Amino acid sequence: MKTVFVLNGPNLNLLGLREPTIYGAHTLADVEQLCTQAAARNQLALRFHQSNHEGALIDWLHEAGQLQREGQLAGVVLNAAAYTHTSVALMDAIKGAALPVIELHISNVHAREAFRHHSYIAPVAKAVICGLGVQGYSIAIDAVAQVLLAPAA
């Protein structure tokens, strides 16, 4: 069984409390449950993590890269949160590990402040999902299974 990593960046531990008009009322535990169900539906093992620290996210990306080299990784769903707009280090980790990543955002970052319109992750991601609320996580895991793992036509 291949593994999908779902990695969440800073302040996502505050889901349900932080700006519910933007991020909704669901908690990170609710998101993890959605991801657990989506992974099971797609016959994938789930690794779900959140950190407010960039280095922890990089370490998990490196771990995913090791699984990729061993043929055990399905893909990575990355909600880098604010690090999306600032972190060359996360971009380099994705490139360095040659990871199949889907960038994810709960809100539509393009309808928000101008600084949120730029992503360091998007150029190295296979796809970007934004604005679908927490349901975007389930959709992203489905895409990992149905698109990233699909045999080339």
Query: Where is the binding site for substrate, in residues?
Result: 79, 85, 92, 106-107, 116
- Active-site hit among 83, 105, 120, 137: 105
* Paired strand residues for 5: 47, 76
With contact defined as beta carbons under 8 Å apart, do 109 and 74 qualify? no
Q: What is the DSSP letter of 144?
A: I
Computed on alpha carbons and rounded to an integer, the radius of gyration of the chain in Å comes to 14
Residues contributing to the annotated binding site: 79, 85, 92, 106-107, 116
- Active-site hit among 23, 83, 120, 137: 23
Q: What is the DSSP letter of 68?
A: H
Is 105 among the residues known to form the active site?
yes
Beta strands in the chain (DSSP E): 3-8, 45-50, 73-79, 101-105, 127-130
Is 118 among the residues known to form the active site?
no
Residue numbers annotated as active site? 23, 105
